[in-house]
Structure 1
């Protein structure tokens, strides 16, 4: 845990305590963890070429956040960049508090030279997540890091404690600076194929995981890349999948695992081989050419590299990956963040109140490449949507600017896209992919059950094949080419929530929208008011937050 130093750290902690919502202060039994982060530019050479990277406390990738269920995380971020900056929290739900989501539609950016303190709670959560910078294509420069949320000591976990718990951040990478990549997108050009892959910010054999023979280790794998699905395997070893984005799974063994953009998995690996150095191999999937990289799994007392050949990845594309995805099942008897079994909520027995079909598309708008959902290519307004909603500022957005079903044709238009929804509704969302590349979708503030996926076009008859018993609950889901994926989701979190493509060029060029989950209630039990320390910008500049 990082914290401020000396009297300065105490003063910061006191100010933060005074600034917290009263609802948080009442929850005195939940511990607080304080972090102070300074965000700077610095030279990095992950692919052997010097480029401008984003560092957090001088680190690339950034520090790992470790927390326990229900912990309050107080993260004071100082922006030393020369442009505005925000961090977002992939999979951390921000219950009743979308003001802290850290995306353009909810949170004013931290100005250059300024700071902002995120006040988050990992309420009723466990599992594997990550954080990343959400503005200005900063994600292509770094600024990301791992988050692991451990179970409370009295809550049983369905496997013995591992000997060590390793974050394993994988992703594609470009040698060009993020500013050059952003200029390419702004000019209407494609990014092209990535230059390489990274494991924990390093290229070929640049990172080492140390193990001891006979012990079992947990690896938390997250695809933090920009554009590419990846496959991971451990030379001479198998992986036992135990958790997906906050859900304990049935403990299935895999020799390799597809990890799509924005997704996170936990696997157990037993060091049951002779004492050598083994390769952790990551390679691209569903691409015209395959690029790979490796890290080192080093046994204590290793006598050198394993003489075995490096393991190859799967050669069958969609069918292999689709079947693997379908094999990932929820562990109905394991405790989640609470002692009751995960399967105690019978999601398949609840009647859905609404079906939302979301179709991706690419189009040329005003002579430039854009991407869209249901024909709308999102543009951010001058004031974050959540702040405009809170202050009832007219003219920033209109609810209903994106429809519940795809529009005809392949054209698109620019619009600030907001879909309205009612608190406590139970919805079916179908992601439809008529294009030729794998896509990945994330919904902030929510977990959902992946009830079905298949090739072709979705229809009401597709429901006959849904898994309504033990589908995994997660935050990010893939949609295969010319295919569909269906989810069930209870709208139990009031706020303004980003629904986005995890392909970062597509997201940047409009393939996202905001889901406004609304209730007429003004009770803090349903939604917290705006934080007292909130930054205000755009048409909200100069307004006051709640008095101290």
Structure 2
């Protein structure tokens, strides 16, 4: 623009507008846009009373909330002021047709230090409670996670009266060691140590307060954002009515306590119907010895009496109690979904799966170091994100079929594992767990139907016990020790999608792989174009995103 007579500031403004127009050209112009600018920095935090170097977003730990309405477009400009590459992923946000924005290294190049990247997401046909988190290394152990709330459009009825308030609960285990130390421990071939404590919204014992008015009902959105541990959530003296699980309205069963496994999110309604005083909000670890515990405070606005006395205990029984609770969580077939039709109108149980994939986790020692594996394959990252290698036809980055679709029970080995799948397949996946620990599995880009779970070995006869009518659709499921969990999933989202353990130490050391959902069609109805602002790294560096 030199010589055109425009001031430099105006030139920059015009260039930014043109860039934004190009960026949004592929997004849905019929729905509102919400713009966010995030600055990712280091900062001192004291979550367990010990000074640590945290990763903050706009100076906040946890990071800022994202509030959106079904079908909104989210434009999130992330500036990386760390000394290392950085990525944000969106736990449970399906990113229809757009795995380019998934924010894991298999699909996206990290944001280099001192640079920025603008994520363009659409919360297409979604409602509910989710969270975001940093996906590289052990950044999650330093912060940079936050909540995502997707509200129903005004014309879509919600199956409960509007609550008086909406609270976010980001809970999970925490380590006093910094994320560099945790990475060194894992790289050295060792499992992570036992966590040092639990947090609620970034704070330790009685460090956070939820204020309520007597007689009113409030919504609590609870997410387990920890690294290694299932948790139990309860509120002293109060019942919890479950209303939503990761985008599915549920039958409104009442619980005294809820088990929430790694990566999972639940919404409950709580009525302030007790004598006016302060009550404990309790989070404790599950299936651990010792049991970790932390508390927040439920404060009645007219209360002058602080919390006191013993903290209410959680479930005393282990697997059976949790398994029975999990089976009690059902879809509300009369509720509307994001669109003006009942959410249960998708009759998943009447569709015959085209094939069955069985995934067995294991904890092998490979080359003298602790690793974790799926079907005997322990995932290792490639030098180039798999999605970019696929798009540019770069050979030697990965091979389809590099992970078997059923356990081999052979010696475990290292591999950049990618499984092939066809667009619009309807398949059954069985997670088989022969270990003594609870597993938690997540599939990016999808919600799936959890049709069954039980102890022992899965066999075809296990299908007789499936729930083929009203199980919930969600993106994360648990698998109990020496047990199995079966899901049905419609592969209606083209892309390269991460299937992983939500136990971050296991994920980092190989318990993950990628599912390439493929169609030969080049229609934009099936998959979005590579973003013009895509960061290109590895062997994709220097190539052109589009003509």
Q: Same fold (TM over 0.5)?
A: yes
Q: What TM bracket, shorter-length normalisation?
A: over 0.9
For residues 221-270 of structure 1, what are the alpha-carbon distances to aligned partners after superposition, in whole Å with 9 as ceiling and x for unaligned? 00000000000100110100000000000000000000000000000000
The residue that corresponds to 2:69 in the other structure is 68
Match of 1:383 in 2: 384
Deviation at 1:343, TM superposition (A): 1.2
Q: CA deviation at 1:288?
A: 1.6
Q: Is the 8 A contact 2:173 2:229 kept in 1?
A: yes
In the alignment, the residues of structure 2 paired with residue 9 and residue 345 of structure 1 have an alpha-carbon distance, to the nearest angstrom, of 49
> For 1:118-137, what per-residue CA distance to the aligned partner results, in whole angstroms no more than 9, with x for missing partners?
00000000000000000021
Residues 395-420 of structure 1: CA distance to partner in whole angstroms, max 9, x if unpaired? 111111001100124x3100000000
The answer for the alignment partner of 2:524 in structure 1 is 524
1:7 to partner: Cα distance:
8.9
Question: Aligned pair in 2 of structure 1 residues 273, 16: CA closer, same or farther (>3 Å)?
Answer: farther
* Residue in 2 that maps onto 1:215: 216
Residue 19 (str. 1) matches residue 22 (str. 2) = yes
Give the Cα separation in 1 of the matches to 2:443 and 2:55: 25
TM-score calculated relative to the size of structure 1: 0.97
Residue aligning to 2:482: 482
- Paired position in structure 2 for 1:93: 94
**Contact map agreement 1:393 1:539 (CA 8 A) in 2:** yes
Is 1:138 matched with 2:139? yes
Q: Paired residue for 1:3?
A: none
Kept in 2: contact 1:238–1:255 (CA 8 A) = yes
* Equivalent pair of 2:24/2:120 in contact (CA under 8 Å): no
Deviation at 1:16, TM superposition (A): 5.0
CA distance in structure 2 between the aligned counterparts of 1:35 and 1:75, rounded to whole angstroms: 5
Shift of 1:544: 1.0
8 Å contact kept, 2:219–2:270: yes
Q: How does 1:263-282 map onto structure 2 within 5 Å?
A: 263-282=264-283
CA distance in 2, matches of 1:371, 1:542: 34
- What is the aligned partner in structure 2 of residue 287 from structure 1? 288
Partners of 1:8 and 1:503 in 2: CA distance: 48
**Aligned residue in 2 for 1:457:** 457
CA distance, structure 2, for counterparts of residue 414 and residue 508 of structure 1: 13
Aligned residues: 539
Evaluate the alpha carbon distance shift between residue 30 and residue 8 of structure 1 in structure 2; reply closer, same or farther with a 3 A threshold. farther
Distance 1:11 1:290 in 2: 58
Give CA-to-partner distance per residue, 1:372-412, whole Å, 9 cap, x none: 00000001101000011011111111111001100124x31
- Distance change (3 Å), C-alpha of 1:284 and 1:92: same
Aligned residues of 1:19 and 1:531 also touching (Cα < 8 A): no
> Which residue is 2:196 aligned to?
195
Tell me: CA distance 1:378–1:8, structure 2 relative to 1, closer, same or farther (3 Å).
farther
For the residues of structure 2 that align with 1:152 and 1:227, how far apart are their CA atoms? 35
The structural deviation recorded for 1:529 is 1.2
Cα–Cα, structure 1 residues 204 and 271, in superposed 2: closer, same or farther, change >3 Å? same
1:233-244 matches, cutoff 5 A: 233-244=234-245
8 Å CA contact 1:430, 1:484 repeated in 2: yes
Aligned to 1:335: 336
CA distance in 2, matches of 1:498, 1:192: 26
Structure 1 unaligned runs (5+)?
1-5
Three-state SS of the structure 1 residue aligned to 2:528 is coil
Partner of 2:3: none
With over 3 angstroms needed to count, the CA separation of the structure-2 counterparts of 1:351 and 1:237, relative to structure 1, is same
1:496 maps to which residue?
A: 496
For 1:15 and 1:197, locate their aligned partners in 2 and report how far apart those are by CA, in whole Å: 46
Deviation at 1:10, TM superposition (A): 7.0
Q: Which residue of 2 aligns with 1:512?
A: 512
Residue 45 in structure 1 maps to residue 67 in structure 2 = no
Answer whether contact 2:128 2:247 (CA < 8 A) is retained.
Answer: yes
Distance 2:527 2:510 in 1: 28
Conserved? CA contact 1:451–1:487, under 8 Å: yes
Inter-CA distance 463–12: structure 2 relative to 1 (3 Å threshold) = farther
Contact 1:36–1:76 (Cα < 8 Å) also in 2:
yes
For residues 60-112 of structure 1, what are the alpha-carbon distances to aligned partners after superposition, in whole Å with 9 as ceiling and x for unaligned?
A: 00000000000000000000000100000000011001010000100000000
**RMSD over equivalenced CA pairs, Å:** 1.4
CA distance 1:8–1:480, change in 2 (3 Å): farther
Q: C-alpha offsets along residues 25-71 of structure 1, whole Å, 9 cap, x if unaligned?
A: xx332000000000011111100111111000000000000000000
Offset, 1:9: 11
2:538 match:
538
1:322-381: CA deviations, max 9, x gaps? 000000000011001011001111000001001000000001111111000000000110
On the 8 A contact 1:21/1:532 being kept in 2, the answer is: no
| Distance in 1 separating the partners of 2:19 and 2:279 | 46
1:19/1:533 contact within 8 Å kept: no
Any stretches of 5+ residues in structure 2 without a counterpart? Answer: 1-8
2:495–2:518 CA contact under 8 A, matched in 1: yes
Give the conservation status (yes or no) of the 8 Å contact 1:449–1:471: yes
Shift of 1:191: 1.7
